[in-house]
Each structure stands twice: as structure tokens, then as C-alpha cells.
Structure 1
Amino acid sequence: MDLETKCIEYIKNISNTKSVFVLDPINQNTEKIKFFKNKNYNPILKYEKKELPKTFFLKIKQLPNNKYPKLSYFILKNILEEINLRNSCTKKEYTKNSIDFYGVPSENLVSHAKKILKKNIPILEEKTITPQNVVCGLNEYLKSRKLTHWVVKTASITAKAITIPTEKTLKINNKLLFSKNDLIRLKVHEIDTHIMRVENSMLQSQILHFAFPNYLSTEEGLALYSEEMNGVLDQKRMAICAGRVLAVNLALNHSFAEVFEALTAYFDDNDAWDITLRVKRGLTDTSMPGGYTKDYIYLNGYFKIKKYVESGGSIKDLYVAKIGINDLSTIKDLKEIKPPKYLPEYLKI
């Protein structure tokens, strides 16, 4: 077995570990009730925690740069760092690990987010579709895309939906009702972007089966761009993404209650709760500053995709695997890159 094959096998063995650590608080519903009775209260969040042995994390510190092929090394290191972040949930180093892994929004992005929020005009969508009916609709859509090996099911999660590639599963929030536009968004966001990029990656050489470091900004930007191309990226959706940027920026120095109060200038209480919970998940005592900084990536990625398209970039090129815009020059050096088999309808025209 050559060195690159050994490295790929090693990556396979540890990559599934990411799904072990779920950052969704297990008591979020009871804490929401407490909070809405007293909006000065800062929720105390609990998690289903699974510890890894300390020896596992020695791999991060001891991973020699020169032992593996360069690309394999960076993918492996990225996976280990994400596992390290998730494993630090509830610990004092959690916020630092999140900043190290995801970064923080720039002043320019925060400024753009505030401009979007000032334009926000609430759009009322009739939400009458049950999670079970959403599951049926998404299963039909998967069938039409010849992706029937994926499973859609309801689950207790913080987000509306989450895609888990290692399980070939799309989970839908079992506590929410959905609008017709929500259903379209789930189809084009979760299936036409996240799932299709996974499936295309599996048709490439083995090293492209894994997400590249810093792929996520491109991934989420593509998902929002797909929503736009399907006519469902409305002002409310843009405002939610902008609100997430503002929330990440505020959470670094403010409590849950303070972030929530700031967001109520732009959102109703339920949306403000959802956005705040997303950025404070991973903490136990949410009166403390800090949190999960990932959520600014959605709007940041969208702007990057728009700039990429305006400069003549091909969206199809980004569908070959779970790569970032900056990885295109890297993968051109790899042998036998296959054109993407799975593409959203707007790219087939």
C-alpha cells in the first residue's frame, strides 16, 4: 500500500468521528420556555456529550507535515481540527477553537449585514406543511434526481434541516411547520447543493471524496445562490443570513440575552431566539461571551459566489466535489477529474 493510499485509509477511519458530536442542546425547548418568561435570563444549555480519549488529539500535535502527500495532509489536519472543536463543546477553549477553525466576520461584512437588516420588511409566509409532509416531498425530489439511496427523516435539531453525508441522511426539524417556499429552499439548498456535491465527489479520485479545508464558505454560498436562481432567496431569507452575521459579531462579547435583545430590532421573538441559539450553542452558561462563529459564513460565502460569477467563473466547476473557489487551481493538477454528474436544473439550461 503506497503512502497516499495509507493516508486516505487513515482519513476514512477518523472522518466519521465528526458526526459523533452534535452541538444541538438537548434541553433547548425547556430553556426557551424559561427565557420567554424572563428575557433577562441566560439559558443554561446541556448536550449529549461523548468524550474521545486524549490520545486521539495527540494526532493533531504529532502529525508530521512531511509524512503524507501535501493535499492529503491538509485534509486530514482539517478533519482533526474540526473534531477538536466539537470535542471542546462546553469547555473554556471552545470559542477560541471556533474562531481558529471558522474565523470571525470582517468589519466590512458586518457593515453589509446591517445595511441588509435596515431594508428588512417582514414577509408573512403561511406555514402549514408538517415535517412528515416535507419528508415525503423531499423523498419524491430525491427520486426525481435518482438519489434514492439517501434517506430523509425528522429529528430534534436546532436548524430547519441538516445533511449528514456519512449516513446518507437528510434530517428535518420535527418541531417546525414549513411554507411552500421553505420546501423549495430545502430542495435546492440541501439536495441540489449539499447532496449533489457529495455525490459528485464520490465519482472522483479518492482524495476528492473528502471536503477540502475552507470549502464551507463556497458550499453555503452556492446553496444561497441556488435559492436565488430558483426565486426563493427573498428579503426575509437575506435578513436571516445578515442577522446571523450580526449575532456572531455580538456573541463574542455579549450574553445570550443581550444578543437576543439586539436582534429583536429586526426580527420577531422566535426568529431572534433561533439565531441567538445557533451562535451560543456549544456553551453551557450563555451569560458568558463567546460561542459558535460558523454562521457568518452563509452571507460571506454568498457574496464570494456572486463575485466569482461576475468575474466569469463557472458554477459547474464548483460541483465536481466539496471544494472551495480557491481550490480550483489545485484540483486542475489532479489526474482524471470527471465532470459533475449531478447538477441543479438551472445549470442544465
Structure 2
Amino acid sequence: MKIDINVGSKALLDIDKRIDNLVKQIELLSYVNPTNIEEEKQKFYASKYLEDPVFKYPEINFDKFKLHRELFTMPLELIEDEEIRDFYETIIYTYSGLIQCIETIGGGKQFYYNSLHCFGTPTEQDVENAKFILHFDDEDINDDAFIPKYRAIEAEAFFRTFSKKYDFTYSIKHSDKLSAIAMVLNNVKTLVLNSNHTYSDNEIAVLTNHEIGVHMVTTMNGLLHPLKIFSHGFPNNEETQEGLAVFAEYMSNNLTVTRLKELAYRVIAVDSLAKGYSFSRTFRLLHNQYDLDREESYYITVRAHRGGGFTKDYLYLTGLKKVYDYYHEGKDLSLLLTGKVTLEYADAIQSLIKKGFAVPSKHITDSYAENSNTNKTVDFILKNLK
């Protein structure tokens, strides 16, 4: 659809382009992952889980003061469409918050409060949902699908084969500095695999649908719009994006009770931040009280405590429930694949498409074509989350 270029439209496109140039450097996950996770793990174990790790983080390679200044001097008053003008005002505050997060990484409570501002924290209901999930028994972990088999270099071949379903290309890198076992870096169109991890068949199935089927799909769709904000991210898009990604695991019949419990443990870990728990106390909560494996307890605790207290992890479960309900209400999932967008802005996305500032999704998550889930326990759990 061609855009009718009037003064207001030109101002919008100019502002959007300026924001695009400014925020290309803001990839929070590039900065918040500690560079010494494995070294600190050995020290933490040797201390009998009593001495908190001392994490190191990548250097920040942008001028944070300049970014703040340029964001807040955007001439938003030139955007004639009031709905879009208000939207971009929210965007500027959102990106300013992310910059504050990055600039306070490793700063203890200061980072935690900035993270709280950007991502929120679990409600009592979210914690109750997590505890509800933890009452269910895991699948048989002796099943061959759950046995670790593939190093990162071997796992890479599975991602490349899976990606033939999609009409796009991207880079794959390996890193020993990840708190996750895989992640997509949106700004450089790159999948990063954890070189310290040995992957099972189940994890390969989960990650291909999660990382490529959603995160890379929304990365590639986001690049196709006249407005670049679809690429860099709507306000509060993390909940929707992670919800969509875990929902792809569900639709492809790869979402297990074990995986749901992992997401529930993340909620418990983030809730511990709100209670003022230290790293070691969160770890002991998971490992001793919830009887979670030592390695899993460590990495979930790292994810929650990295930077000084990173609250984002509880959003996987809340996002999954929202997307699950959205799908079962018969709504259009492809609208949520248009980029790094937010479910709450679904009407705004449709409006932007009508006005010619956005386009429908070109790439559609393969697993969304048909609901292949056969796990009745998983369905029961998702239906009954509050």
C-alpha cells in the first residue's frame, strides 16, 4: 500500500528513521549476560552455595547521554495523527527506560529498579499460577528425546534444516557467555547457540520452533515495514514475543510439563527479587525447597539476578497464557507476527496497516498452521491458569 505523503506523514517517517538510527545499538541482551558465568559457577559451588557470584559484563559501546538527549528532542508535535503521536511518545519513554537499564547493569538495586520499570514484576496471581504448575509431575526424563546428545556445532545443522521452511537467511554464532541455551539477536539477525550446552532432541524441537519459528520470523517481518519501530520493538513487546515463541512450542506438540515447570521456576526466581533475596538465597530456594537440579537452579538464578535483578523472565508464562487465550478466541495470530509488537496494540497494528505505514506479515510461523498439540495435561494447565 502506498503512503499518502503529507506533512504529518513525512514528519512521522523522519522521526521513525531518526529513532531507528539511535536505537540500533540498544540490544539489552547483548549487555546483560555476564561474561564469566561458568567461572563463577565453580566458585559458587565450592562455597557450598553461600558466596554470591561476582559477575562481569560487556562494555557499553554507545554514548548514553547523547541517546537520551536525542530521543527527547524528537519533534513529535509535527505528527498530525494523534493516535500515532501518542504511540511514539510512549515509544520514546520505553527506549529511554531500556537505555537506563543498560547503563546501570551491574549496579545492584539501581538496575533492578530500572528493570522493574521496564518489565514489571510477578503479581500474587502469577506466583500462584507458577505454584499450580509445579504440582504436576514431569515427563519421563529417561525418554530418549530428553537425553543430551548434540554439541552446539552439531545442533547448528538442525536449525539450518528447519529454517529451509522460511524465505530468509540469518547468521549463526556460538558463545560460551550465554545464560540461555540459545537466543536471537534481533539487531544483527543472528541466532546464538550456547557452546557450553549439550542439546537433546526435545530441546532442538523446542528451540527451532521458539527461536526461528517466532523470534527470527518477527525479526524478518519487522524489517519489511515503512515504520522501523516494528523492527526495534513496540512498548512492552517482550511479553507478547516470548508468549508467541512458547506458544509455537505448544502448537508444534513440543511443549511439555517439564518445560512449563521451567517457566514456573523463573516466575518463582523473579518473585524472590521482589522479596529481596540474594543470589545464593534464590538458588537455595530452588535447589533445596523445590528440589530442582543444581545446574538448572544455577542458570535460572543467573537469569533472574543478572545485571543486579532482571525481572523479564516471569513474562514467558504470562505471555503464553495471553497468546493461548487470544488464539482460542479465534483471533488472527499473523497480526502479532508483523514484528516485535505487543498484543495490546493489535488494533493499532491494523490501523497502521490501513494507513499504509505497515504491511501484513510475509513470514508466518510454520507451527501456527495447525494445532498439533496432543499433551492433554499441558492443555489442562493452560486452560486453568488465571
Calculate the TM-score normalised by the size of structure 1. 0.91
1:286 is aligned to none
Aligned-partner residue type, residue 259 of structure 1? T
Unaligned runs of 5+ in 2: 1-6, 80-84, 371-386
Distance 1:25 1:230, change over 3 A: same
Could you tell me how far apart the structure 2 residues matched to 1:98 and 1:62 are?
24
The residue type paired with residue 34 of structure 1 is: K
Q: Determine the C-alpha separation between the residues in 1 that align with 2:210 and 2:341.
A: 16
1:39-118 equivalences in 2 (<5 Å): 39-50=49-60, 52-59=63-70, 66=77, 69-91=85-107, 92-118=109-135
| Aligned counterpart, 2:43 | 34
**Correspondence for 1:303 among 296, 305, 321:** 321
Query: Deviations 1:213-243 (Å, cap 9, x if unpaired)?
Result: 1111111111111101111110110011000
Residue equivalent to 1:260: 283
For the 8 Å contact 1:221–1:301, the answer to whether it is kept is: yes
State the Cα distance separating 1:267 from its structure 2 match. 1.3
- Count of aligned pairs: 341
Partner of 1:279: 304
Kindly indicate whether the alpha-carbon contact (under 8 Å) linking 2:15 and 2:75 is maintained by their aligned counterparts in 1: no
Q: How far apart are 1:269 and its partner, in Å?
A: 0.4
Q: Output the amino acid matched with 1:345.
A: D
- Helix, strand or coil at the partner of 2:225: coil
- State how far apart, in whole Å, the 1-side matches of 2:369 and 2:135 are: 36
In structure 2, the partner of 1:161 is 182
Q: Which stretches of structure 1, 4 residues or longer, exceed 4 Å deviation after superposition?
A: 59-65
Q: Could you tell me how far 1:28 is from its partner in structure 2?
A: 1.4
2:25 to 17, 36, 44: 17
Q: Report SS of the residue matched to 2:173.
A: strand
Instruction: Give 1:59 shift.
Output: 4.4
Give the secondary structure class of the aligned counterpart of 2:115.
Answer: helix
State the alpha-carbon separation in 2 of the partners of residues 332 and 171 from structure 1: 32
Identity of aligned residues (%): 26
Where 2:24 maps in the other structure, the secondary structure is helix
- 1:76 Cα deviation after fit: 3.4
Q: 1:309 to 1:348 in 2, by over 3 A?
A: closer
* Distance of 1:120 and 1:60 partners within structure 2: 49
Within the candidate set 208, 213, 222, 1:187 is matched to: 208
Answering whether residue 341 of structure 2 is matched by residue 323 of structure 1, we say yes
Counterpart among 147, 150, 159 of residue 138 in structure 1: 159
In structure 1, distance between residues paired with 2:149 and 2:129: 33
Q: Indicate the structure with greater helix content.
A: 2
Residues 175, 195 of structure 2: 8 Å contact kept: yes
Change (3 A) 1:26 1:190: same
Q: What are the residue-to-residue correspondences of 1:183-222 with 2, within 5 Å?
A: 183-207=204-228, 208-222=230-244
Question: Which residue identity is paired with 2:279?
Answer: F
Q: Provide the C-alpha distance between the structure 2 equivalents of 1:64 and 1:90, rounded to a whole number of angstroms.
A: 34
1:235 to 257, 260, 263: 257
The 2-side partners of 1:273 and 1:29 are apart by: 10
Q: Output the CA distance in 2 between the equivalents of 1:26 and 1:317.
A: 37
- 1: CA distance, partners of 2:239 / 2:166: 25
**Distance of 1:108 and 1:185 partners within structure 2:** 27
Distance, in Å, in 2 between the alignment partners of 1:297 and 1:53 is: 27
Partner of 1:345: 366
- Note closer, same or farther for the CA distance 1:209–1:46 as it changes in structure 2 (3 Å cut): closer
CA deviation after TM superposition for structure 1 residue 49, in Å = 2.5
Q: Partner residue of 2:294?
A: 269
Q: Deviations over 1:260-284 (max 9, x none)?
A: 111112410000001001011003x
1:316 Cα shift?
Answer: 2.2
